[in-house]
């Protein structure tokens, strides 16, 4: 007959085995992990971790957009590379979008993992583009704004009138009729035909659509994609 101590060791080893097996699971919390793209790269550009505050906090630059499942995989990898604290906050910015008013995505362990994507995913970009191109008349340009509204803008002409259509990642869109003014630099200024009083306007260039406030300060720009 096995001794009590031997049986105890065998019983205690069972939950330990379950813990090891759970670590290699394709799940982390409520998320299903997905393999990262083969050409994916990231760089930690800020580390505000504090043992005094019992938290880790990273700002991570990524070279391309990820799915929710891929973010879960990256988040777990980053989590495992730091000393364990009560909280772990990870903020992601897209390479080339350092001036964004919001992080592209976050993955916070507080203590369970919660992922939030403020910007748009590749699938949402494709859906927005289909919506953006669904207009009547002649499309002058389609522009992607990555730092402020995370939307796609279509400048088009229909029956002698000029419009700007804004397509959002949630599938909604809005259309605004605009006036066209040629400035001295050869650029085109687009102002709202409805005088709503906010004074904002666009400057249409060959490869960009610039956004200005009523103080004539540019606050963002969209790149031409069509």
**Domain regions of the chain by residue span:** 4-117, 122-224
Task: Give the whole-angstrom CA distance, residue 57 versus residue 87.
Answer: 8
Give the residues of the chain that fall short of pLDDT 70.
Answer: 1-25, 98-99, 195-197
Question: CA 23: distance to chain centroid?
Answer: 28
Residue 132, burial from CB neighbour count under 10 angstroms (0-12, 13-18, 19+): buried
Tell me if 60 sits within 8 A of 90, measured CB to CB: yes
pLDDT at res. 187: 84
Pick the CATH number of 122-224 from 2.60.40, 1.10.10, 2.40.128, 3.30.70: 2.40.128
pLDDT at res. 196: 60
- Where do we find the tokens 């990898």? 77
Determine the 3-state secondary structure of 46 from DSSP: strand
Task: Give the whole-angstrom CA distance, residue 59 versus residue 67.
Answer: 18
pLDDT at res. 195: 67
Number of helices (H), then strands (E), belonging to the chain: the values are 3, 15
- State pTM to two decimals: 0.78
pLDDT at res. 18: 31
Task: Give the whole-angstrom CA distance, residue 59 versus residue 91.
Answer: 5
Instruction: Report how far apart, in Å, the C-alpha atoms of 49 and of each of 22, 59, 78, 90 are.
Output: 27, 10, 13, 10
């Amino acid at each position: 007959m096995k001794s009590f101590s031997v049986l105890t060791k065998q019983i205690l080893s069972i939950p330990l085995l379950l813990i090891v097996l759970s670590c290699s699971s394709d799940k982390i919390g409520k998320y299903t992990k997905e393999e990262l793209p083969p050409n994916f790269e990231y760089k930690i550009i800020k580390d505000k971790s504090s043992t005094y505050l019992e938290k880790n906090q990273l700002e991570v630059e990524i070279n391309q957009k990820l799915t929710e499942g891929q973010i879960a995989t990256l988040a777990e990898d980053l989590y495992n590379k730091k000393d364990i604290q009560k909280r772990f906050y990870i903020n992601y910015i897209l390479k080339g979008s350092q001036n964004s008013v919001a992080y592209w995505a976050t993955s916070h362990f507080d203590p369970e993992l919660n992922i939030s994507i403020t910007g748009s995913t590749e699938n949402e970009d494709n859906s927005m583009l289909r919506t953006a191109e669904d207009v009547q008349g002649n499309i002058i340009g389609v522009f992607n704004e990555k730092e402020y509204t995370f939307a796609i803008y279509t400048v088009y002409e229909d029956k002698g009138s000029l419009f700007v259509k804004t397509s959002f990642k949630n599938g909604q869109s809005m259309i605004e009729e605009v006036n066209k003014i040629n400035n001295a630099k050869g650029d085109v200024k687009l102002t709202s035909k409805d005088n709503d009083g906010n004074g904002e306007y666009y400057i249409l260039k060959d490869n960009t659509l610039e956004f200005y406030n009523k103080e004539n300060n540019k606050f963002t720009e969209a790149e031409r994609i069509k």
